């Protein structure tokens, strides 16, 4: 494994106009049954599935697989403004949920009584110099936990962070023959972007 980090697969499902959710935040369903079946197959091939706080809050995903080989770890990039946790769909007996949090917010998470009985743990990760988590620090810690294959499922800010950090070994970019439109609808890659096309991220 490169630099003792997991092999990272990014899965993006978008419309023709690059949207991953409508302006109200809803994203179910962008793609059709065949694509969703493929996603379940992908999840079964990975040790862990990761999402950001917006995807966790709005979609309330299970992050499970209908195929044999359910991912052992479900990872959520956490923030104190997610509390209290209302998505109980993610908890099950076969997987462990990891909330990635900053050391400053750890005490707030530990006080959540509804999480004390759940099969979950909290992983403290450094903050990056700009904003968000230091993903290289996170990848190193996930590797130490035995995670060798990681699947990243969204949303747009998370995709942007991984691509900017050059943390993508394989990308599945699924496109649905639909148009959502709207300046407030979420795009597949958010973040600050680049001001010069010559500085665009090269995926070759």
Q: Hey, what domains does the chain have and what are their CATH numbers?
A: 2-199 (3.40.430.10)
Residue 34 clears pLDDT 90, i.e. is over it? no
pLDDT tops 80 at residue 2: no
pTM (two decimals): 0.88
Q: Mind listing the pLDDT tens digit for each residue in 39-94?
A: 888 888 999 999 988 888 777 778 777 666 666 789 999 888 888 887 777 887 67
For 57-105, the DSSP string reads HHH------SSSS--SEEEEE--GGGPSP---TT--SS-EEEEEE-TTT
Residue 166 Ramachandran class (φ > 0 left, ψ -120 to 50 alpha, else beta) = left
pLDDT at 200 over 80: no
More confident site: 6 or 203: 6
Q: Report which of 91, 28, 100, 88 is spatially closest to residue 64, judged by C-alpha positions.
A: 91
Mean pLDDT rounded to a whole number for the chain: 83
Q: What is the pLDDT of residues 112-142, one digit of tens each?
A: 877 877 778 899 999 887 778 999 999 999 9
pLDDT at residue 188 tops 90: no
pLDDT confidence band for 169 (50 / 70 / 90)? very high
Instruction: Report how far Cα 146 is from the mean position of its chain's Cα atoms.
Output: 18
pLDDT above 70 covers what percent of the chain? 92
What's the confidence (pLDDT) of residue 76? 92
- CA atoms within a 13 Å half-sphere pointing along the CA-CB vector of 23: 5
pLDDT of residue 9: 96
More confident residue, 27 or 23: 23
In this predicted structure, the answer to whether residue 190 has a pLDDT above a threshold of 70 is: yes
Which DSSP state fits 202? P
pLDDT tens for 137-152 read 999 999 999 999 999 9
């Amino acid at each position: 494994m490169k630099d003792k980090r997991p092999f990272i697969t990014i899965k993006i499902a978008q419309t023709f106009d690059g949207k991953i959710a409508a302006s109200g935040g809803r994203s179910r369903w962008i793609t059709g049954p065949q694509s969703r079946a493929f996603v379940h197959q992908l999840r079964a091939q990975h040790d862990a599935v990761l999402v950001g706080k917006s995807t966790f809050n709005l979609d309330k995903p299970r992050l499970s697989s209908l195929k044999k080989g359910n991912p052992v770890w479900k990872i959520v990039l956490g923030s104190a403004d997610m509390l209290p946790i209302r998505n109980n769909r993610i908890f099950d007996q076969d997987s462990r949920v990891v909330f990635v949090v900053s050391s400053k917010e750890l005490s707030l998470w530990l006080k959540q009584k509804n999480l004390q009985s759940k099969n979950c743990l909290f992983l403290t990760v450094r903050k990056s110099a700009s904003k968000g988590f230091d993903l290289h620090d996170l990848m190193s810690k996930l590797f130490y936990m035995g995670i060798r294959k990681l699947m990243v499922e969204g949303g747009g800010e998370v995709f942007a962070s991984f691509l900017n950090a050059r943390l993508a070994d394989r990308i599945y970019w699924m496109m649905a023959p639909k148009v959502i439109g709207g300046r407030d609808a979420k795009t597949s890659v958010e973040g600050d972007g680049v001001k010069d096309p010559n500085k665009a991220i090269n995926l070759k």
